[in-house]
Structure 1
Amino acid sequence: MEPEDAGLLATAVRETFEEVGLKLDAGGEVIGRLATVVPQSRLVPRIAVTPFVAVAPAEYHVFGEGETPSVLTLSSEVAAAFWVPVSELKSGGRSGTFRMVFAGVEREWPAYPSTHGPIWGLTERILTEFLSLVG
């Protein structure tokens, strides 16, 4: 949160624009807030992420799995952005895993499979809460 932000929602709207170029305050609709999450590893900075759920403005709506709208501009903080239908995430569930060597030890985390690779970590935790709330 920056000093000029009026609150967590203002931070989320600003960060969304800075990181992917999506202007939620220009035709988007914020519909809810999820629980704040923090990294579980002591090796990752102790940040707190408070996710908000929003419907993006119409020009961002892309229905093809894996497509990145050309209107998005990814910052150096974002490795990739792609669409995965909610129905696909719900039907497949958290059926995958992500493995990597972390601090010299091979570890495994729950993940949602996608054609772009596993969705894991904080994103997986945020998605799990979101998917538990949608019908």
Structure 2
Amino acid sequence: MPSLSAIREALAPHPAKDEPPVRGLAAVAMTLAGAPEALQLCLIRRAARVGDRWSGQMAFPGGRAEPHDATAQAAAIREAHEEVDLRLAEAEALGALAEIPLGPTGATGVLAPFVFYAGPQPPSLRANEGEVADAFWLPLSHLWEETNRGTIDWEWQGKLLRFPGIQVRGELVWGLTYRVLKQWAALVGKPLPGHDDPPYERVG
């Protein structure tokens, strides 16, 4: 598991852009907290909502940028506050990860992930019940444990696709959130073990 100093060093060359978010952008906050050698990660389980394509999924706090958001990072900070009462304006902004297309083609926009450190004591989380079913801190070491690997089969446009992921509390972290974690882990020099799978593969 990477230390906080190693994470800072890896992300230092990747600061957040100081410019307005592009149309269709969604931003998420990958937030770390805890002792530098025993970090924890903030995750949420989204509330079940009709019409929400990510309904019930494990994720980071985040959502679509709004016209009043000065930057994409500002959108991530706002969403984290609205969804789990996490005050990232007071946290250490560690850097930004590469944007990820939303959906197989990216036609509906991009996801902009930002990484924060919220201090040695993980802040209390308060889930906004309309949007979030659960919010919690997960030991970061959980991501590298082989026994936590998993997959999920998902039907899309008549195709059965198999996605890799990480098991957490009886759920699977997969899709965009998994891809953010995979990108981040590679950047900090600690690739997720056995997670060299493609974003998806057809199984039927």
- Kept in 2, the 8 Å contact 1:94–1:113? The answer is yes
- Within the alignment, does 1:34 sit opposite 2:101 as a pair? no
Name the CA shift for 1:104/1:77 in 2 (closer, same or farther; >3 Å).
Answer: farther
> Among 56, 74, 83, which residue is 1:19 paired with?
83
Deviations 1:37-72 (Å, cap 9, x if unpaired)?
A: 122346x9713211100012556x17xxxxxx4x32
For 2:158 and 2:129, how far apart are their aligned partners in 1?
Answer: 29
Name the CA shift for 1:39/1:94 in 2 (closer, same or farther; >3 Å).
Answer: farther
The alignment's TM-score, normalised by the length of structure 1, stands at 0.74
Deviations 1:10-49 (Å, cap 9, x if unpaired)?
A: 1111121122221111x3111110111122346x971321
For 1:111 and 1:51, how far apart are their aligned partners in 2?
Answer: 18
Tell me the matched-pair count.
125
Residues 85-100 of structure 1 mapped to structure 2, 5 A cutoff: 85-92=139-146, 95-100=149-154
Identical positions, percent: 34
Task: State the AA in 2 paired with 1:31.
Answer: L
Q: Give the gaps of 5 or more residues in structure 2.
A: 1-64, 191-204
Task: State the AA in 1 paired with 2:68.
Answer: E
Q: Give the gaps of 5 or more residues in structure 1.
A: 63-68
More helix by share: 1
For 2:187 and 2:139, how far apart are their aligned partners in 1?
Answer: 15
Please name the residue that 1:66 is paired with: none
For 1:85 and 1:10, how far apart are their aligned partners in 2?
Answer: 26
Deviation at 1:73, TM superposition (A): 2.1
Please name the residue that 1:130 is paired with: 184
Please name the residue that 1:65 is paired with: none
Please name the residue that 1:107 is paired with: 161
RMSD between superposed Cα atoms in Å: 2.8
- Kept in 2, the 8 Å contact 1:19–1:73? The answer is yes
Task: State the AA in 2 paired with 1:83.
Answer: W
Deviation at 1:6, TM superposition (A): 1.6
The alignment's TM-score, normalised by the length of structure 2, stands at 0.52
| SS of structure 2 residue aligned to 1:2 | coil
| SS of structure 2 residue aligned to 1:100 | strand
